Amino acid sequence: MRCIKVGSKTFDRLIDRDDHGRVRLQKTVSGIIDKVRTEGDNALIKFTKKFDKIELKKKDLRVSEAEISGAYQDIKPEIVNTLKAVIKNINKFYTKQAPKSWRIKHEPGIELGEKFTPIENVGVYVPSGTVPLVSSVYMTVLPAKLAGVNKVVMVSPPNKYGSIDPHILVVANLLKVDEIYKVGGAQAIAALAFGTKTIPKVKKIVGPGNEYVTEAKRQVFGYCDIDMLAGPSEVLIIANHHANIDYLKKDLMAQAEHHKGLSILVTPSKKVYDVLREDTNVRGYLIKVKNLDEAAKISNMIAPEHLQLMVKSPNRLLKNITNAGAVFLGQYTPVAVGDYIAGPSHVLPTGGTASFYSGLNLRSFIKSSHTISYSKKALCASAGWVKELTELEQLQQHWESIKVRCE
């Protein structure tokens, strides 16, 4: 591992993990979005041929019921049973997250409250590389469905056979995804944001993707909502002399399996530090600190996506943690368990955005409306305050709307 010191240039780059030099990427993605906005399905077909090397017709963009049914025949039955069990397990976590609408009597004649409503429709992006990322399906779709989203639309790039991996189709079907389309990249994000004749426009887009997908989400934000701008996966481990060295190595190496994955180990232990600094098989950064309090401060500065607390009393250290996408407590809670089965979504803030952003959850698919109710007596009793403030801001008609009710 590479040893670095707090305050060094390398350490400062860990704090500021924003990607620079994105002008060409921004221009490319902007051009793709403009084409989809103006040419719709025709642009999707052209870009699919250009980037995915697959020729599709408009009628082929949407995955058919026959394709979904056939997908069950192409995978092992035991995988279906595993997927059902995992979905049931994750479902238990999200049922605790649903907010409830409320109203209170603030003063005599005044009632205030908050009404929660699920977002009407949502688009889910599922990456597709050399292997099926089935976990990305249930980690995004399940909280949306449990939140009460009326329509979930999924997009995923077609494979070399012009279809979507059967494992992805099966898990989408188990979760009752309403519509599935064979389109990926920035063009898929544009289609969801603005709609085409085939693909419906949605209110929010969620799900991980490559740099083109992420940049497209950034550019369409405001036309619709997005979950976050996620970058390369990352883990920070705080470990002292109580940590099992073999566990540490495996967890750090697991992170390296991700494209551009970032691994950081922060430790006050000389033993841990000496062992890992000599290990050339483990990639990442190693930071020596005085104690666990300093380790927590450094972790909060970095604000990692995944934070593992491999110490004797992780709950005690947790009290000092303010910035992390997800926190994994103890020796037997590796990031992998959160990636696949624990419950909380693995769609988490990266690049330091955990300092102001949360991971995807059921509340990500719910919006709130404030409710306000005044009686005539309560309104007129408060009229003097409004009069003073409207005079200060020179908004006379605002005051008149109060005055006419109290005369």
Domain boundaries, the chain: 2-18+232-355, 40-226, 377-406
E strands, 15-79, where? none
* pTM for the predicted model, two decimal places: 0.93
Q: What is the pLDDT of residue 401?
A: 97
CATH of domain 2-18+232-355: 3.40.50.1980
CATH superfamily of 40-226: Nitrogenase molybdenum iron protein domain (3.40.50.1980)
Compute the distance between CA of residue 264 and CA of residue 268 in angstroms, rounded to an integer: 14
**77-123 tens-digit pLDDT:** 999 999 999 999 999 999 888 899 999 999 999 999 999 999 999 99
Q: What is the pLDDT of residue 89?
A: 92
The answer to whether 282 touches 276, Cβ cutoff 8 Å, is yes
Q: What is the pLDDT of residue 397?
A: 97
**The two domains 2-18+232-355 and 40-226 share their CATH topology (first three levels equal):** yes
Kindly give the interhelix angle for 77-94 and 166-174, rounded to the nearest 10 degrees. 40
Q: What is the pLDDT of residue 239?
A: 97
Residue closest to 361 by CA, chosen among 142, 125, 192: 142
**24-77 tens-digit pLDDT:** 999 999 999 999 999 999 999 999 999 999 999 999 999 999 999 999 999 999
The answer to whether 310 touches 324, Cβ cutoff 8 Å, is no
Which of the residues are catalytic? 305-306
Sign of the Cα pseudo-torsion (130, 135, 140, 141, in order): positive
Q: What is the pLDDT of residue 19?
A: 60
Q: How many helices (H) and strands (E) does the chain have?
A: 17, 14
Cα→Cα distances 71→62, 64, 159, Å: 15, 11, 14
